[in-house]
Amino acid sequence: MPTVLARAPGRVEFIGNHTDYNGGAVLGAAIDRYVWAAAAPNPAGRWRLFSVGGAAVLELPSDPGTKYSGTDSWANYPLGVWRSLRDFSLPQPPGFDLLVDSNLPPGAGLSSSAALELAVALALVSLAGKTDLPPAQLAALGRHAENHHVGVPCGILDQGTCAFGRAGHLVHIDCRGPVFSHVPFPADAHLWIFNTREKHALIDGLYAQRHEECLAAAKTLGVARLTDLTPAQLRAGEGKLPPVLAKRARHIVEEQARVQETVTALQRRDLAVVGRLLTASHRSSQHLFENSTPALDRLVDLLEKHPAVFGARLTGGGFGGAAMALTRDRFTEADAVQIERCCAANHDRAPEMLHLQTADGATRIGLQAGGMD
């Protein structure tokens, strides 16, 4: 019987595509789709891991020290969290039973991995007797697990947004600190997600390749981070870069500027400007960072033309996943279905649509009779 239950939200990358690991600023939204982790001590000191919808219980005598592949690859995330507890000098439960459930679509760019990491971290430290884990430490722990034990060189956007989420707000992260703050999200604006069902597997190499390209561009330009440059400074120096690195650098530097412009526009409640910035972000991802796909581009093309849509862009690491639309009240499910049908006419499958609300961040919650809700 579980003794601990924790929940962590997914997140939408509102704007700031690949700026986080470049030391820039990002805006994210924690969303009302979650990963739950229920845990109990295992008296025999063994580990038993099970994901609802998974094939079978994964039972281990101790930390195997290796990575899993195939249908068991999800276990790398809780195992990475357990190892990271030691790295952060936090208590580790010697043995545990762990049950994971989720209503987040995996591989859609909504950060199911970060939500899994944070929910498992809260559950495991609770089993070990620690009841307080500040959001900043929780975010750092989750990122460490993904960077060092899973193998994705992500920044702090995903884990930071999942940890610091607040209903009715976006999470602003200055990744140089990192420093976390909140930006009010207008009550009359709506977030719609259109999941292409093209699973983006960031560990497969394209994400890491973009990371390396950004580092190489910064080194050539003589700065520690591309976000240390203004657009004018980049224009003055980009002739030193090979064409591909020049495109990557331009995306990051201009995206950094778009994040700040978006914050200012949100503070003015100027959603028309916010929408234009979101769509400009997608076009930069499409043409300069080249982490979009034809299915994502088609979605943004359709959404951009809809009169009830302020703007749209891919959300998350790219190379598949989902597009996000910022809409007016009058954008309805019928409108979303029409977008789906138009996409299905050009691709082999219709996207999955989600109408999302902003939500609070990761937390421990009470156990309820009849399971998790």
Q: Which of 43-47, 60-64, 180-184, 219-223 has the lowest mean pLDDT?
A: 60-64
> H/E/C letters for each residue in 247-286?
HHHHHHHHHHHHHHHHHHHHHCCCHHHHHHHHHHHHHHHH
What pLDDT digit, counting tens, does each position of 241-276 carry? 999 999 999 999 999 999 999 999 999 999 999 999
Q: How far apart are CA 203 and CA 176, in angstroms?
A: 24
Strand partners of residue 314: 323
Higher pLDDT, residue 81 or 348: 81
pLDDT at 369: 39
**pLDDT confidence band for 201 (50 / 70 / 90):** low
Confidence at 373, pLDDT banded by 50, 70, 90: very low
Distances (CA, A) of 181 to 30, 170, 184, 343: 13, 9, 10, 37
Residues catalogued as catalytic: 158
In a 3-state reduction of DSSP, which class is residue 345?
Answer: coil
Model pTM score: 0.90
Average pLDDT over residues 125-136: 90
Token duo for residue 309: 């849509």
Q: What is the pLDDT of residue 199?
A: 65
Given a cut of 60, whether residue 202 has pLDDT beyond it is no
Q: Which domains does the chain have, with CATH numbers?
A: 4-184+359-364 (3.30.230.10), 190-356 (3.30.70.890)
Asked whether the predicted pLDDT for residue 325 surpasses 50, the reply is: yes
pLDDT above 90 (res 333): yes
Which phi and psi angles does 242 have, rounded to 5°? -60, 155
- How many percent of the chain have pLDDT more than 70? 95
The count of other CB atoms within 10 Å of the CB of residue 174 is 15
